[in-house]
Structure formats: structure tokens, C-alpha cells
Structure 1
Amino acid sequence: MAAVSNEFWNDKMKRLFHLYDIDRDGSITPVDFEILADKLSSLVGQDDTKRREDYATARKLLCQEIMRADENQDGKVTLEEWLQFHRRLADELRKPGTHPELLEQLTRRINTTFNMLDLNHDGHIARDEWVKTCQFFGVDKDAADKTFTTVAQGDKLDEKKAKTLFYDYIKLDDPNHISNCCVCFL
């Protein structure tokens, strides 16, 4: 496959950008991650101090990883910076022997994302966790349930498969690939 540049891939990366641009100001900033972490912590209940702390830590890690796309170091990631960063990332992921540091950075991002979706920290994403999180991001409940059925076995999406889907979502531009049937939260 040639370098990532097709319209489908650009569209899905734009959708992902808009998931992170929580305040809808046209850029991703650390403030977006504070808002996101606060909102996500409400999925498991505000009275759960440990989970609020987990989300605060996850927010910081996710923010650090995503802010790597801030090419001009002005404290915000524009859509163009986001697309350029992820285009380079996808191209690198397709090479044999992906640069170890880049792979480690993406792995941290994927691990953090998985842990945020695994609401009860039992090592897999259950159907209700998936649907609840999708609804949080504005996905219709029936559509979320249908995509879960497509990507999971039974009522669980195991960690290894979820992480593989996340990697594939970034690197592949095939609209028929299973990783593209769901909203990814990377």
C-alpha cells in the first residue's frame, strides 16, 4: 500500500480529531483532556475516588501522547498537524521494523485508551462498557451494539484483539477492514 493519503483514511482521522476536540474550538489542547477525563469519570461514578484518579492519570498520559502532534509547539494540535502526524505514524507502522520509540509511544496511547474503555478493569471490554462509551461519544445505542457484535466474541472484547483493532484503525485505509466498523478512541 502506498503512503496514506486517501479520502477514507483522512475522513476517519478527522472524525477522531473531532472526538478529542471536546470544546469544539478547532484544536486539541490539554484543556480538552481535562474536560474529557471529567466527563468519562462520570461513566463510573463520581464517588469512585480510585477511578477518578485513574482517569486523571490516563488523561495526562493520553494528552502527552497526542500533543506530540503539535508540530510548532504552540500548545495546541490543529487539524492539519493531526493529519500530518497520523499520516507519518500510519506510514511508519506499515514498514517492517517500525521505529521502536514510535511503537512504544503508540503502545502507551493504546494501553491508556484500553484502560479507559475497560471501565471495571477486568482485562476486557464488555458489551455494556462499549455501548456506554460509544453513547458518551454520540453513537446511537443500536449502532454501538451492532459494531460490538462485529468486533467481539460474545459479550467480551479481549484486550489483545482490542489493541490490534486500534493499531489497524490508524494504519489501514481499507474501508472494509473490521477496525473501521467501530468508533475508535485513540
Structure 2
Amino acid sequence: MVSDFRKKKLQHVFTVFFDTNKSGNIDKKDFDLAVEKVAGIRGWKAGEAPYKVLQDTLNALWEGIQTADANKDGEVTFDEWVSAWDTIDKEWQILYAKFIFQLEDASSDGSIDSGEFSTVYASFGIDKAEAVAAFQKMANGKANVSWPEFEQLFKEYFTSEDVNAPGNFIFGKTSF
């Protein structure tokens, strides 16, 4: 059983990052829109190599998330998402974590700084000042977060019941 606190965190990810078209469910259209959104953030055009990698990654994420579609109707509801989260393939979770890290690491230097982090979350509708504050909490005051650190923070986000755990802030929010 998923606690209310974890449901709030799952709701944030579901609503802000997966339900791109705001239909209330996750479907293939959401992932197609996400390709366009992320490509726009990065300035990538269709046909360019980074665009293709992005498209392939998001298609793989869509394929993996379909395991949560309990009634096989081509859409994942929030309840299906919550019910399936603990059983979603670990490889899918790692792919998603890498995608988020690479999205945030605009300089491709292997670490995320506050500017990179807050710019991404502002583009997803989160107040930039809140995203900066979330980065500071996530990074424990450090200037950068590396991939190994981020990987641990990502796991913490989806499993921790501690409201003050640094991982709770990896998606740009300071409270739930």
C-alpha cells in the first residue's frame, strides 16, 4: 500500500511530467508531446541525432509504462500508476532516472547545477524560485549534483516516507 505522502509525490510526477496534454491519463500522445517540449527546450530539430535519441528514449519509456495499464485500454490512470509503481521494471526506473538527469544536465558535464535544474522545471510550469530552493534542499547546499548522487536521490524520491529527505526535491517542488 502506498502512503498518502508517496501518493502526493507520485501525483506530482504523473501530472507535471507524464500527463503532458493534461487529459488526466497518460497515453502515447503525452510522450509525443514530451518529445516536442524537450526538443524545444534543447533547440533540437526533427531529423537531428539528439532528437532521435530523445524520441527513442521516450518511446522506450512509453513502452515500459504500459505495464501499469491494468485494463489495457491504452491509457494509464493515476490509480493504475500508483498501483503499479512498486512493480514497474527496475530497468525502466533506471532509464527514467537517466532521462531526467540528462534533461537537467544541459551542459552535459556529468553534473546538474541550480541554473540547469531550475530552467528545466520552470519550463514545466514550476516557479523558478521554488525550483532553485528545491535544488538547494536536494543538493544539501552543494553547487552540483553528480549522476551517482542523483541516482540515489531518485530512488529516495519514490521510496522515502521522510518529508525532509533530499530526494523529495528532485522534481523541483519544495513541499507536498
Alignment TM-score, normalising by the size of structure 1: 0.81
1:80 counterpart letter in structure 2: D
What is the distance in 2 between the residues matched to 1:108 and 1:183?
16
Amino acid of the structure 2 residue aligned with 1:24: K
Runs of 4+ with deviation above 3 angstroms:
none
The SS at the match of 1:33 is helix
Higher relative contact order (CA 8 A, sep 6+): 1
CA deviation string 1:61-88 (max 9, x = no partner): 22122222112222110111011012x3
Shift of 1:47: 4.9
Superposition RMSD on alpha carbons, in Å?
2.1
Partner SS, residue 125 of structure 1: strand
1:1-186 equivalences under 5 Å are 4-19=1-16, 20-47=18-45, 49-86=48-85, 88-89=86-87, 102-152=89-139, 154-183=142-171
Query: Per-residue deviation at 1:57?
Result: 1.8
Gaps spanning 5+ residues in structure 1: where? 91-101
Match of 1:174, as an amino acid? D
* Whole-angstrom CA distance in 2 between matches of 1:83 and 1:50: 34
Deviations 1:83-114 (A, max 9, x none): 1012x349xxxxxxxxxxx3333222222332
- The question of whether the paired residues in 1 share the 8 Å contact of 2:135 and 2:169 is answered with no
Supply the distance in 1 between the matched residues of 2:151 and 2:136 (Cα, whole angstroms): 17
Structure 2 distance, partners of 1:107, 1:47, is 26
- CA deviations on 1:6-54 (whole Å, 9 max, x unpaired) are 2111111112111211111111001101101111111111459232222
Q: Partner of 1:98 in structure 2?
A: none
Q: For the structure 1 residues 138 and 177, does the alpha-carbon distance in structure 2 shift closer, same or farther, using more than 3 Å as the test? A: same
CA shift in 2, pair 1:111/1:57, >3 Å: same
Q: Deviations over 1:104-130 (max 9, x none)?
A: 332222223322322232222232221
Structure 2 CA distance for aligned equivalents of residues 180 and 140 of structure 1: 17
Give 1:177 deviation, angstroms: 1.2
Percentage of matched positions with identical amino acids: 24
Aligned length: 169
Q: Distance in 1 between matches of 2:131 and 2:145?
A: 13
Give the 3 Å change call, closer, same or farther, for CA 165–73 of structure 1 in structure 2: same
Q: Secondary structure at the match of 1:31?
A: helix
Q: Name the counterpart of 1:96.
A: none
Looking at structure 1, the residues matched to 94 and 52 of structure 2 have their Cα atoms a distance apart, in angstroms, of 21
